[in-house]
Amino acid sequence: MPEADFVSEAVLEQTRCVDVSLSWACNARCRFCSQDPARRPHPGLAERDAARHIWAAWRDGYRRLGFSGGEPTVDPGLERLVALGRRAGFRSIRLQSNGLKLADADYAGLLVDRGLTTVRLSVHGAPSDHDALVGVLGAAALQRRAARVLRSLGCRLGVNMVLTRPALAGLEAGVAEWLREGGVTSFTLIYPRFEGAMAAEAAALAPSFSELAGPLERVMRLLEAEGLEPPLLLHFTPCLLPGYESRMLGWHRFDARVVEPDGRVSDLDESVAASKEFPERCAACAYRARCPGVDRAYLARFGAGEFAPRAARAPSRVRGPSVDPGRRLLTENELCVLRLLSGGALGTEAFLRRAERTPLCQDCRGGQSVTDAAERLVRMGRVRRTFRKGRYEWSAVPD
Ligand code: SF4
Per-residue pLDDT tens for 300-323? 999 999 999 999 999 999 988 999
Residue 3 binned pLDDT confidence (cut-offs 50, 70, 90): very low
Nearest to 339 by CA among 321, 351, 323: 351
Average pLDDT, the chain: 89
| Distance, CA of 340 to chain centre | 22
In angstroms, the CA 72 to CA 101 distance is 10
**Mean per-residue pLDDT for 288-308?**
94
Looking at the CA of residue 238, tell me the nearest atom of ligand 1. Answer: 5
Nearest to 328 by CA among 185, 149, 231: 185
pLDDT of res. 336: 86
Per-residue pLDDT tens for 44-103? 899 999 999 999 999 999 989 999 989 999 999 999 999 999 999 998 899 999 999 999
- What CATH architecture does domain 3-302 belong to? Alpha-Beta Barrel (3.20)
Alpha-helical runs (H) found in the chain: 9-14, 47-59, 78-88, 105-114, 127-134, 139-152, 165-168, 171-180, 196-205, 209-225, 268-275, 296-302, 332-340, 348-357, 369-380
Separation of CA 309 and ligand 1 centre (Å):
6
pLDDT of res. 72: 97
pLDDT of res. 14: 57
- pLDDT-above-90 percentage for the chain: 67
Give the residue, by CA position, lying nearest to ligand 1 atom 7.
Answer: 309
Q: Is the pLDDT of residue 119 over 50?
A: yes
Per-residue pLDDT tens for 25-43? 999 988 888 888 788 888 8
Separation of CA 287 and ligand 1 centre (Å):
6
Separation of CA 293 and ligand 1 centre (Å):
7
Hey, do 3-302 and 332-396 end up sharing a CATH topology, with the first three levels equal? no
pTM of the model: 0.90
Separation of CA 171 and ligand 1 centre (Å):
26
Looking at the CA of residue 285, tell me the nearest atom of ligand 1. Answer: 6
Residue 64, strand partner residues:
17, 92
The total of other beta-carbon atoms located within 10 Å of residue 131's CB is: 18
Identify whether the C-beta of residue 373 lies closer than 8 Å to the C-beta of residue 334.
Answer: yes
- pLDDT-above-70 percentage for the chain: 93
Does 282 contact ligand 1 (Cβ within 6 A)? yes
pLDDT of res. 390: 86
Which run of H or of E encompasses 96?
A: strand 92-97
Does 32 contact ligand 1 (Cβ within 6 A)? no
Residue 254 binned pLDDT confidence (cut-offs 50, 70, 90): confident
**Mean per-residue pLDDT for 273-290?**
93
Secondary structure class of 166 (helix, strand, coil): helix
Q: Is the pLDDT of residue 357 over 90?
A: no
Separation of CA 190 and ligand 1 centre (Å):
18
Ligand 1 pocket test, candidate residues 237, 245, 280, most atoms within 8 A of CB = 237
- What CATH architecture does domain 332-396 belong to? Orthogonal Bundle (1.10)
Q: Is the pLDDT of residue 197 over 90?
A: no
| Spans of all domains in the chain | 3-302, 332-396
Residue 13 binned pLDDT confidence (cut-offs 50, 70, 90): low
Separation of CA 289 and ligand 1 centre (Å):
9
Q: Which residue type is seen at 344? A: G
Looking at the CA of residue 278, tell me the nearest atom of ligand 1. Answer: 2
**Mean per-residue pLDDT for 10-31?**
82
Give the residue, by CA position, lying nearest to ligand 1 atom 2.
Answer: 282
Does 294 contact ligand 1 (Cβ within 6 A)? yes
Q: Is the pLDDT of residue 262 over 70?
A: yes
